[in-house]
A and B are shown apart, each in its own frame.
Chain A
Amino acid sequence: MRRDPNVNPVSIVMIEDDEGHARLIERNIRRAGVNNEIIPFRDGTSALAYLLGPDGTGEASAKRPLLILLDLNLPDMTGIDILEKVKANPHTRRSPVVVLTTTDDSREVQRCYDLGANVYITKPVNYEGFSNAIRQLGLFFSVMQVPENP
């Protein structure tokens, strides 16, 4: 994995419990030419511990530009819980959150946007669609400005 901190020091935090999905997402992001560091988490607890720090204040993420890829269906909590906590914390609320999940229920989509999600993507079973979506997301990442957390 090649890193170029001067051009784009953004880290991608991927919270996805399905190992296969995580691998497919990573492969397609790389195919899109995005080479940022990807930090994978398989459950909500460890992801929150990373994002908000062991003390839970969120200061751990201060001055750290992050982009969060979030699955809603996690074993220990729902992605909504994580979204709420991230958007409520002054140190993490500016990090863009991309919800990437199997759910396409319109109410769920609305709820995520209401809570401050920046993008909501449904994982299509059709692999063509899936890889396309991820690759386009990767292209999107490469041009996206991610603010540094206060």
Chain B
Amino acid sequence: MVHTGYNPALVALSVAIAIFASYTALDLGARVHNAAPGRRIAWIGGAALAMGGGIWSMHFIGMLAFEMGMPTSYEAGLTVLSLVIAIGATGGAFAWVGRPGAKAQDILVSGTLMGIGIAGMHFIGMTALHMPGSVTYNLLLAAVSVLIAVTAATVGLWLTFRNHGAWQKIIAAFVMGFAVSGMHYTGMAAATFTTGETGAHASHVTGLAPSQQNLALFVGAAIFLTLFLAMLASSIDQQRVQRELSNSEARFRAAIQAVRGVLWTNDAEGRMVGEQPGWSAITGQSFEEYQGFGWANAVHPDDSRSSVDAWNETVREKRTFVHEHRVRVSDGTWRHFAIRAVPVLAPDGSIREWVGVHTDITEQREAEAELRESNEEIQRYAYIVSHDLRAPLVNVMGFTSELDATREDIRSALKSHPDAERIDADLGEALGFISAAVTRMESLIAAILKLSREGRRSFRPEPLDLDALLQRLADAQRHQTDAAGAEVVVARDLPRITADRLALEQIFGNLLDNAVKYLDPTRAGRITVTAAAVGPRIRIDVADNGRGIAERDHSRVFELFRRSGAQDRPGEGIGLAHVKALVRSLGGRIDVASKLGEGTTFSVTLPRGSATAVYEGVPATSLAAE
């Protein structure tokens, strides 16, 4: 057995190379993911050259550092082969892991192959070593060295294809560098060198052959140069990345100015950081004023509570923020803004910042308010008119009755008059017509009044089970349905809806009532009720096979006091007008599809949620004109 030792300077050099090579490989490997498809191969090649070449150099110098006190030399062919294996194994592993769509388990597979490749390189490198005597291996230590190689390769790959900061990269480089060196020196420890003439060259132990030292320095210099060039390429690429970043920042800045509305950014918690030119231009707030949560001071105090609540909920759910509130603009007035903000997420899923737009919708809101106002005015008008029409009617009816009461007096006064009977009959006929007309007028006024009230009703939306509600309405009609020999079929599993129960009962009660009322006596009546979700709304169809409505009457049937077809059923022409007013108040719409003689389908489309405009408690003063 040969007495062996290590040259400490070369050992240090080999470890330094391992660390530097690891750092370079990490740096280049990190660029593989972000590179354009054509450039990917170049970065993989660079990383493989740095890593594989670095590991090989480390081993080679580590071998040179080995002092075993006998003349040694290397066989060029095998040495080159070991270098090729190192670069090939590393490059293959990098390419496999770095390909688009690679998964976590790919790292394990590639790491194992790369580790075996490195171990192969080591032992082929050992074979290239020519010396007098022979080498035997401790199998256990050799196995440990292979294990270290596999582990080091796997960890190295994992670190390489993971985004990390500069410090993490340096630490990772040290870990990998030591792991690679550990593999080499364990591999060496597994080898036992024996010589034919024991102790013959013992004097050589103390000194390293100068040629061997020069070779080590040469290999070291070569690999450092390679790594340096790789780092240079990397830094040039870094500059390109930086340039692209600054371009995209400039683009973003230009977008901020180009967008109609106000573009702003907030940090994850909602603080304004940095310059917000758009926000400043609209609100007139200075940098100091809007910094942090200062921007909230420009929001209307009445809206800030709801805004904060909505914001907190959005942050919790990491979704797009959609809201409306009033903001004090630079001239001191309040304006309505619609807000949309999207979270920018960090790779780990946390919110990095918010980018939002405030759009001025004041004009839109004003137009809506005007529309609502004029709508309310029409309703109020209908209400007042119907009341004012009623007042003279009380007189007409009252004095008609008074007249009727005096008929008795007239009759007795005219007792002997020859035309007494005719006069009394004429009087009676006239009074009868007046009464009938007044009664009719009263019922018409009552209908208008009811309709105008529907438009002002306040609704109480609640979650409703449509199946049960519609079935109950159908059951309520059972008597009429059975009498007509018809059936009502309500579909199962209807979607859920949140709406005012009474309003829905009135709407569908009316539609079912109509369907039963206007069936065709020549065929068995069949009425079906179905419902389907249409986006955020629900459409409920009430279809019958009744007498149908002529095309020209399709819109007329919804008008007050208008009826269609044969006037052989009792009715005032109020029902559908009432239904339409209710549906509209609920924020929905009603359509009719019908063919004369075949049947009619009424489709009611309602918002699924309680988007129903609720005018809770119209102020009583609006009725003061009564």
Contacts and interface: CB of A to CB of B under 8 A. Distances in A.
A4 to B, nearest CB: 27
Most A-side CB within 10 Å, residue of B393, B400, B617:
B393
Nearest to A28: B398
Contact of A102 (B387, B397, B402): B387
Contacts of B393: 125
Nearest to B446: A125
Contacts of B395: 18, 20-21, 24
A89 interface: no
A141 to B, nearest CB: 20
A130 interface: yes
Which of B399, B400, B623, B626: most chain A CB closer than 10 A? B626
Contact of A127 (B388, B391, B401): B401
A107 interface: yes
Given A103-B387, A128-B401, A20 B626 contact: no
Given A80-B624, A102-B626, A125-B438, A27 B391 contact: no
B394 A20 contact: yes
B391 A21 contact: yes
A103 B623 contact: yes
B233 to A, nearest CB: 82
Nearest to B438: A125
Residue among B388, B392, B624, B625 having the largest count of chain A Cβ atoms under 10 Å: B624
A24 to B, nearest CB: 4
B41 to A, nearest CB: 80
A111 B622 CA distance: 12
Given A24-B398, A125-B394, A126-B397, A73 B626 contact: yes
A94 interface: no
B442 A125 contact: yes
A101 B626 contact: yes
Given A24-B399, A73-B387, A102-B387, A123 B626 contact: no
Contacts of A80: 624
A103 B626 contact: yes
Interface residues of B, number: 25
Contact of A24 (B394, B617, B624, B626): B394
A61 B382 CA distance: 39
Contacts of B623: 103, 105, 107-108
B398 A130 contact: yes
Contact of B625 (A24, A73, A101): A73
A57 interface: no
A31 to B, nearest CB: 10
Nearest to B442: A125
A125 B626 contact: no
Interface string B411-455: 000000000000000000000000000110010000000000100
Given A20-B395, A102-B387, A125-B390, A78 B626 contact: yes
Contacts of B391: 18, 21, 73, 102
A68 interface: no
Contacts of B392: 18, 20
Most B Cβ at <10 Å: residue of A80, A102, A128 = A102
Nearest to B404: A127
A74 B623 CA distance: 13
A101 B623 CA distance: 13
Contacts of A105: 453, 623, 626
A131 interface: yes
Contacts of B400: 127
Contacts of B439: 126
A73 B390 CA distance: 12
B439 to A, nearest CB: 8
B387 A127 contact: no
Nearest to A73: B626
A86 interface: no
A72 interface: yes
Contacts of B618: 107
Nearest to A126: B397
A107 B439 CA distance: 26
Given A20-B394, A21-B394, A125-B390, A108 B620 contact: yes
Contact of B620 (A18, A111, A126, A131): A111
B397 A125 contact: yes
A128 B442 CA distance: 14
Contact of B397 (A72, A78, A101, A127): A127
Interface string A112-150: 000000000001111110110000000000000000000
B398 A127 contact: yes
A102 B401 contact: no
Contact of B402 (A27, A103, A123): A27
Nearest to A110: B620
**Most chain A CB neighbours (cut-off 10 Å) among B394, B400, B442, B617:** B394
Nearest to B441: A125
B201 to A, nearest CB: 118
Contacts of A101: 626
Contacts of A123: 390, 394
A25 to B, nearest CB: 9
A96 to B, nearest CB: 21
B444 to A, nearest CB: 11
A19 to B, nearest CB: 9
Contacts of A27: 402
A107 B442 CA distance: 22
Residue among A18, A27, A126 having the largest count of chain B Cβ atoms under 10 Å: A126
A34 B439 CA distance: 30
Contacts of A130: 394, 397-398
A23 to B, nearest CB: 8
A73 B397 CA distance: 19
Nearest to B435: A127
A30 to B, nearest CB: 13
A130 to B, nearest CB: 6
A72 B391 CA distance: 12
Given A18-B394, A80-B624, 15 more contacts: A18-B391, A18-B395, A20-B392, A24-B398, A24-B399, A105-B453, A107-B617, A107-B620, A108-B620, A111-B620, A123-B390, A125-B393, A125-B438, A126-B439, A130-B398
12 contacts: A20-B394, A21-B391, A21-B394, A21-B395, A24-B399, A27-B402, A73-B391, A102-B391, A105-B453, A127-B400, A130-B397, A131-B398
Which 6 A/B pairs are nearest by Cβ-Cβ distance?
A20-B395, A127-B401, A24-B398, A103-B626, A127-B397, A78-B624
